[in-house]
A and B are shown apart, each in its own frame.
Chain A
Amino acid sequence: MLTTSPAFKDNAAHALKDAGLQKALGKAKGAFLQRRAEAVSRLPEFEALRDVGRDIKNHTLANLDFYLETFAANVERAGGHVHWCSTAEEARAAVLEICRKAGAKTVTKGKSMISEELGINDHLEKHGIDPVETDLGEYIIQLRRETPSHIIAPAFHLNREDWEADFRRAHTDLDPDRVFHERRDILTEARTRLRQKFLAADVGITGANFLVAETGSSVIVTNEGNGDLTQTLPRVHIALASIEKVVPTLEDCVSLLRLLARSATGQDFSVYTTFSTGARREAEIDGPGEYHVVLVDNGRSAMVGTEFQEMLRCIRCAACMNHCPVYGAVGGHAYGWVYPGPMGSVLTPSLIGVEKAGHLPNASTFCGKCESVCPVKIPLPKMMRHWREREFERHLSPQGVRSGLGLWAWFAQRPGAYRLASRIGVGLMGLLGRHKGAFKSLPLAGGWTAGRDLPVPQGGTFMAQYAKRMRNR
């Protein structure tokens, strides 16, 4: 996928002025938080399970080579095929090759973030194959030729009006004056439309929430059932998965599943959690005749052993973005690549380079909420700080920031000068803002005051107030 991450600042400014987006964000924000909080409160063991989840993932990552080889051997034992792909190009080629061999014209797709990362749809289209997204949110995103704005709710940025308008535009064979009385009518129209696609498809492509080494299974989690129709009806099933999805056993997998739905949608369990293992067995009367796993690295192995290894624990629940004030203000598209929010701010620079995505780790208030809700306890703020350090070390930060920091460092090492300068500064600001209470704009601080007011300082510097209090004791 192309990136606009380098333009994060402009993207964000745009997003703040986008009335439709702000309406959608305003409506959706609270729902996720409340549902998650309720689900967590129903399970007293939730906190303890977060430690379990973290430990399972750490154990797996420490032995990742072993578990991947075990997984692949078990897929093959069950009559499936594993395609190891180092890069996005290799993965796209592998998918295309399987589709071509199957003589595919139409390919149905379950929701998959790795598919977005690899740009599978464009690649298939370019080669004359019609990819059809079947998750409701992905479906409308595809109609609009957009990208998902959230990793579990792709159409997070849209309002009901958008759905109705897009359906009228795309489904031209239906009565243009039909009325959508309620959301259900939109859903029913999509269901009918996609049924035909499910039945026509030659190949079904899904993602994978987990891979189970013990059994060679790929696991998908959905509420709609579209992923199951995608992988059950066509002759060929392809599961796309990145290497960090593997877990050792079914027991490990269900422990993580206890965390996933609660953290993501606030359900105790999603409607469909499905384990696929190999192709149709003897005497079975349904299921795909071929089963392929396209196992993708695309930058992950390079994170192993670095300060970003812990990011590979991520189970893509989206709790971090749901709880992020920055995401809540600008939405997902501003981040400019596949993965938004705090997890994206850490992952994107790893996968596409800090030169392109250096703005993202800066888009944080460091409130720490993301880490506190992450079901596998990824220290997201700490890792964003690592990226800031790397960006600075590699001289990627703008000159203004660098000289500002240099100036501050000079004063910070000279307490006398620091106190003098801040006394002058605070005194001056107090004088200037005597009648205002807050600055709407301030020279040298435009970056701050563009989006918010700066309160006028009252009662001298901290050091001066401190000294006064000590004297009065």
Chain B
Amino acid sequence: MSKDAILTAIRRGLRRGPLPADQQAMLGGRLATHPRHLIPARSRVARPEQVALFIRNVEKEFGTVRRVADAAEMPAAIGEYLAAQNLPQRIAMAPHPELQGLDWDSRPMLQVEARRGDPQDSVSLQHGFAGIAETGTLMLPSSPHRPTTLNLLPDTEMVFLRASRIVGAYEEAWDLLRAENQDARTGGFMPRNVMFVTGPSRSADIEQTLELGAHGPRRLHILLLDDDPAALPAP
């Protein structure tokens, strides 16, 4: 069998047989504790600066951010963005309890459908699991409440994100997922799909020159709910 052939060839190269039990246990320990390596200092700052760094990095990568003080204002913030961009008042929304719990009645002109993404969608609203300040990256794990297609098919993706969910480094985002997610199938924490998204889709394949809007969304707009008093900018 090829599996045995490959493993045998590797062991021959390493001049040893299968690893003895104690060494396997040691490597098993490394997997279980998954030690961190060097983490860049840039994200090791106080909360307000961390959030500011996140926003700066999103904008550097051609995304946009709007800070919203209160969840009650969220539907209005969405409606205003759509109007300003000349987009239809119609969104495909992740069927996430937190999004479904927003006061959509306050914005009767806005049509909201909780479902997966479809090819003809022009705008989606995704629920953000975490934001990573280090590079302005969103962590979007799949679940029945967070369909992956919403990140891919619409022309414009909006993401709802709580400021309290902004962390410094990728490692901290993994820790959130490890702590909060439990997968029925594997007994582990890893969902089927985890996307790290940094800005809208782009390509530099034509003469190495950057153009936005390749196959994924052309616009990425983050609605940042300021739910963390410690993360607010100094007055």
By a beta-carbon cutoff of 8 Å, the part of chain A in contact with chain B is: 24, 27-28, 31-32, 43-45, 48-49, 52, 56, 62-70, 72, 74, 77-79, 84-86, 90, 134-137, 140, 153-156, 158-160, 163, 183-184, 186-188, 191, 194-195, 198-199, 213-217, 223-226, 228-229, 232-233, 243, 248-252, 254-255, 257-258, 265, 267-287, 295, 297, 301-306, 309
Cβ B6 vs Cβ A243 within 8 A:
yes
CA distance A31 to B208 in the complex (A): 7
Cβ B196 vs Cβ A302 within 8 A:
no
CB-CB under 8 A for A69 and B31, given A156-B208, A272-B195: no
CA distance A410 to B191 in the complex (A): 67
- Which of A43, A63, A84, A286 is close to B27, meaning CB atoms less than 8 Å apart? A63
Cβ A278 vs Cβ B185 within 8 A:
yes
Cβ B192 vs Cβ A303 within 8 A:
no
Cβ B41 vs Cβ A229 within 8 A:
no
Query: Shortest beta-carbon distance, B178 to chain A, in Å?
Result: 9
CB-CB under 8 A for A281 and B19, given A90-B2, A137-B205, A297-B6: no
Chain B, residue nearest A136 (CB): B205
Segment from B83-91, B98-106, B141-149, B158-166 that makes contact with A: B141-149
Cβ B31 vs Cβ A70 within 8 A:
yes
Asked if B203 is at the interface (CB within 8 A of a chain A CB), the reply is yes
Cβ B3 vs Cβ A271 within 8 A:
no
Number of B residues whose C-beta is below 8 Å from A? 82
Chain B, residue nearest A265 (CB): B204
Cβ B19 vs Cβ A66 within 8 A:
yes
Asked if B22 is at the interface (CB within 8 A of a chain A CB), the reply is no
CB-CB under 8 A for A223 and B13, given A78-B186, A268-B57, A281-B183: no
Mostly, the B contact residues are: loop
Cβ A232 vs Cβ B152 within 8 A:
yes
Cβ B37 vs Cβ A284 within 8 A:
no
Cβ A271 vs Cβ B193 within 8 A:
no
By a beta-carbon cutoff of 8 Å, the part of chain B in contact with chain A is: 1-3, 5-7, 9-15, 18-19, 23-24, 27, 30-31, 34-38, 40-42, 57, 61, 95, 115-117, 119, 135, 137, 142-144, 147-149, 151-153, 169-171, 174, 183-188, 190-209, 211, 213-217
CA distance A301 to B152 in the complex (A): 37
CA distance A64 to B18 in the complex (A): 11
Residue of B37, B115, B174, B206 with most partner-chain A CB within 10 A: B206
Cβ B193 vs Cβ A277 within 8 A:
yes
Q: Give the residues in chain A near B148, CB-CB below 8 Å.
A: 228, 232, 286-287
CB-CB under 8 A for A45 and B188, given A65-B7, A213-B31, A228-B195: no
CA distance A65 to B17 in the complex (A): 10
- A sample of 20 inter-chain contacts (CB < 8 A) reads A24-B207, A43-B42, A65-B14, A68-B10, A77-B186, A84-B3, A86-B5, A136-B203, A225-B217, A232-B148, A277-B193, A281-B142, A281-B183, A284-B144, A286-B149, A297-B5, A297-B9, A302-B13, A304-B9, A305-B14
CA distance A216 to B9 in the complex (A): 22
Cβ B190 vs Cβ A217 within 8 A:
yes
- Which of A31, A66, A186, A252 is close to B37, meaning CB atoms less than 8 Å apart? A252
Chain A, residue nearest B170 (CB): A254
Chain A, residue nearest B177 (CB): A250
Query: Shortest beta-carbon distance, B226 to chain A, in Å?
Result: 25
CA distance A171 to B214 in the complex (A): 18
Cβ A269 vs Cβ B185 within 8 A:
no
Cβ B185 vs Cβ A32 within 8 A:
no
Q: Give the residues in chain A near B199, CB-CB below 8 Å.
A: 271
CA distance A464 to B203 in the complex (A): 59
Cβ A285 vs Cβ B144 within 8 A:
yes
- Which of A62, A250, A283 is close to B174, meaning CB atoms less than 8 Å apart? A250
- Which of B38, B41, B213 is close to A49, meaning CB atoms less than 8 Å apart? B38
Query: Shortest beta-carbon distance, A109 to chain B, in Å?
Result: 13
Q: Give the residues in chain A near B38, CB-CB below 8 Å.
A: 45, 48-49, 52, 255
- Which of A159, A191, A250, A278 is close to B213, meaning CB atoms less than 8 Å apart? A191
Q: Give the residues in chain A near B35, CB-CB below 8 Å.
A: 249, 251
Q: Give the residues in chain B near A72, CB-CB below 8 Å.
A: 3
Q: Give the residues in chain A near B10, CB-CB below 8 Å.
A: 64-65, 68, 243, 301, 304
Query: Shortest beta-carbon distance, B113 to chain A, in Å?
Result: 13
Q: Give the residues in chain B near A233, CB-CB below 8 Å.
A: 149
CA distance A255 to B215 in the complex (A): 27
Query: Shortest beta-carbon distance, A426 to chain B, in Å?
Result: 45
Query: Shortest beta-carbon distance, B16 to chain A, in Å?
Result: 9
Cβ A271 vs Cβ B198 within 8 A:
yes
CA distance A435 to B232 in the complex (A): 77
Having A45-B40, A154-B205, one finds 10 other A-B pairs with CB under 8 Å, namely A49-B37, A52-B37, A86-B2, A137-B205, A223-B202, A269-B196, A281-B192, A286-B147, A287-B192, A301-B9
| Those 9 A-B pairs whose CB atoms lie nearest each other, nearest first | A225-B216, A304-B13, A305-B13, A224-B214, A301-B9, A137-B205, A84-B3, A249-B34, A269-B135
Cβ B12 vs Cβ A305 within 8 A:
yes
Cβ A249 vs Cβ B31 within 8 A:
yes
CA distance A65 to B41 in the complex (A): 35
Chain A, residue nearest B62 (CB): A271
CB-CB under 8 A for A283 and B13, given A215-B188, A254-B171, A271-B201: no
- Which of A136, A248, A271, A279 is close to B206, meaning CB atoms less than 8 Å apart? A136
